[in-house]
Amino acid sequence: MIRSSPELLAVSRRWYEILRTKTNTEELRDFLTTSDELRFIGTGEGEFWSGSAVRDGVGGFFAAIPAPVVFEELEAEAFENGETGWSSFVHRIQFVGFDEAVIYRTVVIFVLEGASWKIVNRHASVPTPNIELVGVEQLAIQQLIDAAREEGPELIQSEGLASVLFTDVEGSTALAEALGDQSWSSAIESHFQVLAEIIQKHRGQFVKSLGDGTLSIFPSAKEALAAAVDMQTAVTSVSEEPHLGLRIGIHTGDVVQSRGDFFGTVVNKASRITTAGVAGEILISDATRAMVGGRTSFCFSDTEPRQLKGLSGRHTLYRLEWKSTY
């Protein structure tokens, strides 16, 4: 059965962190299978390699690439099915000495060897249009997607006003390294189950997990705030280790749904609000604050207007003082 894999997201992100920092690229060989079926597919002509040469040369391959001045994760997802799994990433990368960033799309396929996931196939590409490569536009897939958009609200529709809630575990990379992949995967899955129950209790929809974070949608700002308080309370009441530091961001506005996922500027801003916080915080937008009005049991404190990554201007945020709310 195919399912989302926070564990493979964590493993993949450790791989990319070495590429970003350029520290000890020789450690990359430890991510790779020892099988002769290992394949490494790059973006350059002739970059289709296999076997032990990949393991022996992967450190030097990446060490020769200039250091990045921009290394931004745009999209990330991972899945597993039994003893195999895969991750898909989109990064925006700009190297020292180059004026513009390039979008890199990478798929990594894993196999489970003993208790560890190992890479058996890595494939990277850059978005050079097909018209420049083969002289024709290959539109079959895009035409199907465009047709699906026109079929009606079952496939893509405006969901109207909703409150978007993101969670994120602060310091998760260090925790994952300390616990090991298997223990971290078990811990984060248990964490997701707790959050899912709280989301359901407050009439929300658990949309998806995002590595160590989650995205959920609520029909009202009040329900989203109540769920956020319950989430922080549940996390801090756990007695056994590891102790997770949860940060939460909420924004309210019109969202768009497509095949069970949600998109739009509202979702993007809610994500940025989350990353602006620290462990134990619930930050909300001014739009969400306005929705609950003055007649509420919730307590808020003002914060300094902030810049949010990727969004222009400065944004007014409020901190929900959850410890005294209930």
CA distance 198 to 215: 13
Those residues with Cβ within 8 angstroms of residue 26's Cβ, 6 or more apart along the chain or in another chain: 59
Question: What is the Rg, in whole angstroms, of the alpha carbon atoms belonging to the chain?
Answer: 22
Tell me the pLDDT tens digit for each residue of 152-173: 444 444 557 899 999 999 888 8
pLDDT at 274 over 60: yes
Assign 257 a pLDDT band (cuts: 50, 70, 90): confident
Assign 65 a pLDDT band (cuts: 50, 70, 90): confident
Mean pLDDT for the stretch of residues 45-56: 86
Percent with pLDDT over 90 in the chain: 44
Model confidence, pTM: 0.55
Among the ranges 38-42, 105-109, 136-140, which has the highest mean pLDDT value? 105-109
Assign 325 a pLDDT band (cuts: 50, 70, 90): very low
Report CA 28 to chain centroid distance, whole Å: 22
Those residues with Cβ within 8 angstroms of residue 146's Cβ, 6 or more apart along the chain or in another chain: none
258 or 121, greater pLDDT: 121
For residue 315, report the phi and psi dihedrals to the nearest 5 degrees: -120, 135
The one-letter amino acid code at 65 reads I
Over the chain, what is the mean pLDDT?
A: 85
Angle between helices 181-201 and 221-236 (to 10 degrees): 140
The two most distant CA atoms of the chain are separated, in Å, by: 67
Mean pLDDT for the stretch of residues 63-89: 91
* Exposure string for 184-209, b = 16+ CB within 10 A, e = fewer: bbebbeebbeebeebbeebebbbbeb
Tokens of 183: 């223990």
CB 258 within 8 A of CB 156: yes
pLDDT at 1 over 60: yes
